[in-house]
Structure 1
Amino acid sequence: MALVVFAALGVWQVQRLHWKHALIARVDARIHAAPVALPADAALANASVSDPRTRDLEYLRVKLSGVYQGSATALVRAATDLGTGYWTMTPLRMDDGRQVWINRGFVPEGTSPAVAAATAPETRVAVSGLLRFTEPGGSLLQANRPQDDRWYSRDVAGLAAARRLGAVVPAFVDVQVEQAAQNPASALKPVPGLTQVHFPDNHLMYALTWFALAALSAFGLVYIWRRA
């Protein structure tokens, strides 16, 4: 019985390996493709990587334009290759009237929301970047605390409620390129383009482990049979 179970688990991990490699290839092609218009809100509602109807929207490269609402800027805890600090989340009122949260990039520890807000251009901006799904509730270790303006995840609905924005697009955009007719004179500028696209790929190791256990089980059965 154990031999069959271990072998089946090994085959399953091989299947998962092929699925994961296909996923990585699709996402890699997506993030290097020409940017497209931001999908409709209905297409993004309840979007999830586990839902085959919406998973291909994650990391979609999009383009949009509008005017930042700099005074509504919020800071979300971040750990990056540049160190610990914050993501600068600023809502953008798009040309079509929709509001969408934009992750304008990383600012270092000690930056205040007011200082981060001052970095947002006041003129119309054109943005291209990667579409991301909302992160409700908080991080694995800490819950968001809207009452204290402490954010540990990019929860677009929670941020919008805290800033009294009304309806927002149920997703956010990680900026890659931001273009404005006039940029603020602020010495601080959020660092964009730090999106980490990483998928754990341990399926080969798991498959080898299960097949090794199946082989040991087979050896044990042969040994017991010969002893009998």
Structure 2
Amino acid sequence: MAALSASERSARLRSLWAPGLATLVCLAILLGLGVWQLARKGEKEALIARIIERSHAEPPATPPPFDAWDAKADEFNRVRARGTFLHDRETLVHGLAPGEPGRALQGFYVLTPLKRDDGTTILINRGFIPTELKRPEDRAAGQVTGEATVTGMLRASEARGLFVPESDPKRDAWFTRDIAGIAAARELTNVAPYLIEADATPNPGGWPRGGQLRVDLPNNHLQYAFTWFGIAACLIGVFSVFAWRRLHDPAEPKAG
């Protein structure tokens, strides 16, 4: 096997500048994505720990004043509110709830306005009902009358995901817990910018069934980080083989 001349080796070395620079840019991007996923992993673990800690807080706090609500700071705080349910203005939001192992129940989450003595209103996610109990008369025992006390966790409006249909107030079809949209559709005034997810305190008749908040937020960021770092390692390997062959293999095309 004939050795490469000094001039040919120098020319081949110069030909590696462009692919080498492109490889470095791609490598920086891949490593950056991996580091970002590790940071997101830490943020998600902190959020889950915060939810668990706040979900067990005793005694429950008073809901914050509407103008002092800070979703980032206040969401998932455990609170207690008292008032009268306006069952005639409840809203059913399409959703799923855990059923038998490996099977989800299809139905609705019941959002009912709670009118307080000071004239303010807070939407309460009272819990889940299966589709067959959509009509209020089929779950009359759960329509609490008179003053009621609700304990649960503060939640902000639910953002619509990529694959979630858009709610249609005209058809009374709701797919997200949209506080402002529901308040407007039900002609509610002085409504809190947050809602309360009711805890698992049993309702008369068993429905709606509260306590549906699950601390099972997906946390796959470590896997994603390994994926990006793995691709980066493969890129280094591929470029190393390419560069070695370019510099040492006489069968490689000459650099122009």
TM-score range, shorter chain: 0.7 to 0.9
Q: Does 1:12 align with 2:30?
A: no
Identical aligned residues as a percent: 35
Q: Residues 136 and 158 of structure 1 are in contact (CA less than 8 Å); yes or no, is this contact kept in structure 2?
A: no
Quote the Cα distance in structure 2 between the aligned partners of 1:223 and 1:194: 54
Residues 217, 147 of structure 1: CA spacing in aligned structure 2 closer, same or farther, 3 A cutoff? closer
Q: Does 1:96 align with 2:118?
A: yes
Name the SS of the counterpart of 1:77 in structure 2: strand
Matched with 2:49 is 25
Quote the Cα distance in structure 2 between the aligned partners of 1:138 and 1:113: 27
Higher helix share: 2
Matched with 1:196 is 214
Shift of 1:110: 2.8
Count of residues in correspondence between the two structures:
215
Q: Give the AA of the match of 1:169.
A: A
Matched with 1:75 is 92
| The 10-residue stretch of structure 1 (216-225 or 150-159) with the greater mean CA deviation from structure 2 | 216-225
Query: What's the CA shift string for 1:103-127, capped at 9, x where partnerless?
Result: 1111111334432784322121111
Gaps of 5+ in 1: 45-52
TM-score scaled by length of structure 2? 0.74
Q: Residues 127 and 210 of structure 2 are in contact (CA less than 8 Å); yes or no, is this contact kept in structure 1?
A: yes
Q: Does 1:157 align with 2:180?
A: yes
For the aligned residue pairs, the C-alpha RMSD in angstroms reads 2.5
Matched with 2:102 is none
Gaps of 5+ in 2: 1-23, 100-104, 248-256
User: Which has the greater radius of gyration?
Assistant: 2
TM-score scaled by length of structure 1? 0.82
Name the SS of the counterpart of 1:84 in structure 2: strand
Q: Residues 6 and 211 of structure 1 are in contact (CA less than 8 Å); yes or no, is this contact kept in structure 2?
A: yes
Q: Residues 27 and 232 of structure 2 are in contact (CA less than 8 Å); yes or no, is this contact kept in structure 1?
A: yes
Matched with 2:83 is 66
Residues 1-228 of structure 1 aligned to structure 2 (within 5 Å):
1=24, 2-34=26-58, 35-44=60-69, 54-82=71-99, 83-115=105-137, 118=140, 119-135=142-158, 140-176=163-199, 187=205, 189-227=207-245, 228=247
Quote the Cα distance in structure 2 between the aligned partners of 1:28 and 1:121: 29
Quote the Cα distance in structure 2 between the aligned partners of 1:66 and 1:123: 8
Query: What's the CA shift string for 1:65-93, capped at 9, x where partnerless?
Result: 11111221222112111311111111101
